[in-house]
Structure 1
Amino acid sequence: MIDNSEKLKIGNKSFSSRLMLGTGKYKNLETAVKSIETSDCEIVTVAIRRLPTNLHNDSNNFLNTLNWKKLWLLPNTAGSQTAEEAIRMAFLGHELACQIGQEDNFFIKLEVISDPKYLLPDPIGTLKAAEFLVKKGFTVLPYINADPMLALHLEDLGCATVMPLGSPIGSGQGLNNLANIKIIIENSSIPVIVDAGIGTASEAAMAMELGVDGVLLNTAVSQSKNPEKMAYAMNLAVKSGRLAYCAGRMEKKIYASSSSPMNLLSKI
């Protein structure tokens, strides 16, 4: 039997699934919940700005419909244009985690984005916010450009992961930064999660085959024609990509090589 039980460790938490899902852009609440369930993901990220300050006063809120005994909340600071805004959002994120019974949850997906057109993360603001939040005890998962040197600086600060984008968020362009992502994987001693740009299951599998530790995506599922089916496809893609990486692909060769050697044929 194939053993694929190696868990993804982020901070002091371990997860069986290496797929993480966002919660935006779904057509309705039911589709979002079913897609999350079908994906078998264990980490769900939610923009803090989209949530009320008190979940208990809003019984119809999305977070109240999910099973938080099986899922781990990853609040994100989406919409923050400065380090200061992101820091404030991080503390609100922990308060929201407490409201769903995850008092020990100090995870934060750190996004500092001041570019309104391409939504590219601000490296200086990200570094500044990450340093502060790590010192305050947060488990920081920073969303970054595929910049190998920035990734090393964030690791040195104590971030729990680095999350380079495959291509601009929500674009579905796929993995346009392969060379730099490979360098980040090679240099990193913390998990590398590809975040943003993936449009379909084959791209998720490709990311995992490179050796990334996980994939975070949203639009590829929520904006597909059948989100529930695409969520399942992503589930399988991440698992198969991880298995392929662990198995090790064959060496590429210039010339053809018979799959049935002649010395074997002669014995038949």
Structure 2
Amino acid sequence: MQQQLLMPSIDLYNTPLTIGEQSFMSRLMLGTGKYKTLKEAIDSINASESAIVTVAIRRAQNAKNLGKSNLIDCLNWQKIWLLPNTAGCKTAEEAIRVAILGREMAKKLGQINNNFVKLEVIPDPKYLLPDPIGTLKAAEYLVQKKFTVLPYINADPMLAKQLENIGCATVMPLASPIGSGQGLQNISNIKIIIENSNIPVIIDAGIGTASEASKAMELGASAVLLNTAVAKASSPNLMAEAMKSSVISGRIAYLAGRMTKTIQAQPSSPTDSISFI
């Protein structure tokens, strides 16, 4: 009888991602904007098996006020953790108000202990680059109010460390501008942030395809958050599947440890101490 090879479970290598007091098995987070239809969004989120889904509170509130269906009403929030975000806020004060609305929304969905907020303060309408001063100001206030703050930032190692020091649960440096699909354009700074950080580093914005998500994880990032790469793919649910697999493979490759690069070639089949009959 042929012996069956037992492959070790991926879960043996993929330890939970811990943010604040919550732990998650998936290291892929998905956004909810830009999909053509609600069904397409739901199918993609399900295909990704993301444990955390981020929702723009302003957009969700506007849809609710207009009596329109939105993802808040269509997803199973017993299985998915809501990450409210302050997208659309131009000032620290705006972001704080929207964060409070987001916490109330999470509680209405039954997530009583959900104090998460993805903090975005973006006054720049052209490049959508986050305001470091406004972000730091809002983060400091929200941390004091017992929020679990996940701030979206430029790949700035000094700002990342300041946010960690005031009590943020993660830092979320951009790979490249939001929705650009340019991939990892700030690798050197991201490496410094990861090296210096004692909290999870989540790569957010600019990822365009699965290989880029895998590369982010190979650098040692704790997780990847993306939206446009899936929503604007020709087949969003297939791209969601690809992203799920790439984040897992990138994580395992990081844990495995990359071989050292060399200038000269090294034979994979050395001839020393080999006798030929």
Question: How far did 1:59 drift?
Answer: 8.0
| 2:139 equivalent to 1:126 | no
Q: 1:4 to 1:53 in 2, by over 3 A?
A: same
Task: Pick the aligned partner of 1:73 from 79, 82, 96.
Answer: 82
Q: 1:231 to 1:255 in 2, by over 3 A?
A: same
- Alignment-derived partner of residue 143 in structure 1: 152
- Alignment-derived partner of residue 108 in structure 2: 99
Post-superposition CA distance 1:163-219 (Å, at most 9, x none): 000000000000000000000000000000000000000000000000000000000
Q: Does structure 2 conserve the Cα–Cα contact (< 8 Å) formed by 1:55 and 1:99?
A: no
CA distance in 1, matches of 2:201, 2:66: 37
CA distance in 1, matches of 2:113, 2:30: 21
- Alignment-derived partner of residue 239 in structure 1: 248
Question: How far did 1:265 drift?
Answer: 4.2
Q: Does structure 2 conserve the Cα–Cα contact (< 8 Å) formed by 1:165 and 1:197?
A: yes
Q: Which amino acid aligns with 2:47?
A: T
CA distance in 2, matches of 1:56, 1:80: 19
Mean Cα displacement is larger for which, 26-35 or 257-266? 257-266
Question: How far did 1:239 drift?
Answer: 0.1
Q: Classify the secondary structure of the residue corresponding to 1:52.
A: helix
Q: Does structure 2 conserve the Cα–Cα contact (< 8 Å) formed by 1:126 and 1:142?
A: yes
Q: 1:263 to 1:173 in 2, by over 3 A?
A: same
For structure 1, the residue ranges without an aligned partner over 5 or more in a row are none
Question: How far did 1:53 drift?
Answer: 7.5
Question: How far did 1:266 drift?
Answer: 3.1
Q: Which amino acid aligns with 1:171?
A: S
CA distance in 1, matches of 2:102, 2:274: 65
Q: Which amino acid aligns with 1:238?
A: V
Q: Does structure 2 conserve the Cα–Cα contact (< 8 Å) formed by 1:25 and 1:222?
A: yes
| 2:60 equivalent to 1:51 | yes
> How many percent identity over aligned positions?
65
Q: 1:98 to 1:125 in 2, by over 3 A?
A: same
Q: 1:265 to 1:69 in 2, by over 3 A?
A: farther
- Correspondence list, 1:202-221, <5 A: 202-221=211-230
Q: Which amino acid aligns with 1:27?
A: K
Mean Cα displacement is larger for which, 55-64 or 162-171? 55-64
Q: Does structure 1 conserve the Cα–Cα contact (< 8 Å) formed by 2:14 and 2:251?
A: no
Task: Pick the aligned partner of 1:82 from 57, 77, 91.
Answer: 91
CA distance in 2, matches of 1:95, 1:221: 28
TM-score (normalised: structure 2):
0.93
Q: Does structure 1 conserve the Cα–Cα contact (< 8 Å) formed by 2:177 and 2:205?
A: yes
Q: Does structure 2 conserve the Cα–Cα contact (< 8 Å) formed by 1:55 and 1:64?
A: no
For structure 2, the residue ranges without an aligned partner over 5 or more in a row are 1-7
- Alignment-derived partner of residue 170 in structure 2: 161
Mean Cα displacement is larger for which, 2-11 or 258-267? 258-267
Post-superposition CA distance 1:133-157 (Å, at most 9, x none): 0000000000000000000000000
Task: Pick the aligned partner of 1:110 from 119, 123, 137.
Answer: 119
Question: How far did 1:267 drift?
Answer: 6.1
CA distance in 2, matches of 1:265, 1:34: 56
Post-superposition CA distance 1:67-122 (Å, at most 9, x none): 11110000000011000000000000011111211121110000000111100000
Q: Where do 4+ consecutive residues of structure 1 move more than 4 Å?
A: 53-59
Q: Does structure 2 conserve the Cα–Cα contact (< 8 Å) formed by 1:45 and 1:75?
A: yes
CA distance in 2, matches of 1:146, 1:14: 25
Question: How far did 1:51 drift?
Answer: 1.3
| 2:203 equivalent to 1:194 | yes
How many residues end up aligned between the 2 structures? 268
- Alignment-derived partner of residue 239 in structure 2: 230
Task: Pick the aligned partner of 2:44 from 23, 35, 38.
Answer: 35
Q: Classify the secondary structure of the residue corresponding to 2:46.
A: helix
